[in-house]
Amino acid sequence: MKSAFILLILFFAGCANSTHNTKAGKTKSNLMKPKVNKPEEEWEKILTPQQFYILRKKGTDLPGTGAYTYHFEQGVYKCAGCGASLFYSDNKYESHCGWPSFDNAIEGAVVMQPDYSHNMIRTEILCANCGGHLGHIFDDGPVETTGKRYCVNSTSLSFEKSDE
Ligand SMILES: [Zn+2]
How far apart are the CA of 67 and the centre of ligand 1, in A?
18
Catalytic residue selected from 82, 127, 130, 151: 151
- Over the stretch 124-139, which tens digit does the pLDDT of each residue have? 999 999 999 999 999 9
Under 8 Å between Cβ of 130 and 35: yes
> Could you give the CA distance from residue 46 to residue 42 in angstroms, rounded to a whole number?
7
How far apart are the CA of 161 and the centre of ligand 1, in A?
18
- Over the stretch 50-62, which tens digit does the pLDDT of each residue have? 999 999 999 999 9
How far apart are the CA of 37 and the centre of ligand 1, in A?
10
CATH architecture for segment(s) 40-161: Beta Complex (2.170)
Under 8 Å between Cβ of 125 and 136: yes
Please report which residue ranges of the chain form alpha helices under DSSP H: 2-21, 40-46, 49-51
Active-site annotation holds for 127 = no
> Could you give the CA distance from residue 148 to residue 142 in angstroms, rounded to a whole number?
7
159 band by pLDDT with thresholds 50, 70 and 90 = very high
pTM for this structure? 0.79
How far apart are the CA of 64 and the centre of ligand 1, in A?
23
Q: Check pLDDT > 70 for residue 151.
A: yes
146 band by pLDDT with thresholds 50, 70 and 90 = very high
Can you name the residues that pair with 101 across neighbouring β-strands? 93, 151
How far apart are the CA of 26 and the centre of ligand 1, in A?
25
